[in-house]
Structure 1
């Protein structure tokens, strides 16, 4: 069984990357290619699909606010609500 990890970038950040650009995920160091896919409501959206080719990816320098939470089921939301 092949387990393909999802991209750790938020959709807002993926929208700003050109189509067919190969990127290196800053969190899990996997390669992804930005593609346009047809959604269920017949609209096009950009997605980061796993890339298994040999081309060198573009390394991204991304702020933490553009990364997804690692595991939302185990995440404690009160951590975000505390004043630091």
Structure 2
């Protein structure tokens, strides 16, 4: 991969992670029906952050084995018998 291609790939990865982890909770525009951003879900017409152990659109994805916490961003550091 060329250095410019590598830089662009790095930019895309950074942009995806930034948007995934730091966007606001509401992704719909003024006057549009409420649409919660990724890693948020709707409760009483408000968008709330996913509870620990869940992530994705409408918080529909459970952490994969070996991960936990906010948006499943923490890796477990224990043997399988202690999980």
Q: TM-score range by the shorter chain?
A: under 0.3
- Structure holding more strand per residue: 1
Question: Per chain length, whose mean CA-contact separation is higher, i.e. which structure has more relative contact order (CA < 8 Å, sep 6+)?
Answer: 1
Q: TM-score, normalised by structure 2?
A: 0.28
TM-score by length of 1: 0.28
| Larger-Rg structure | 2
Q: Which has the higher helix share?
A: 2
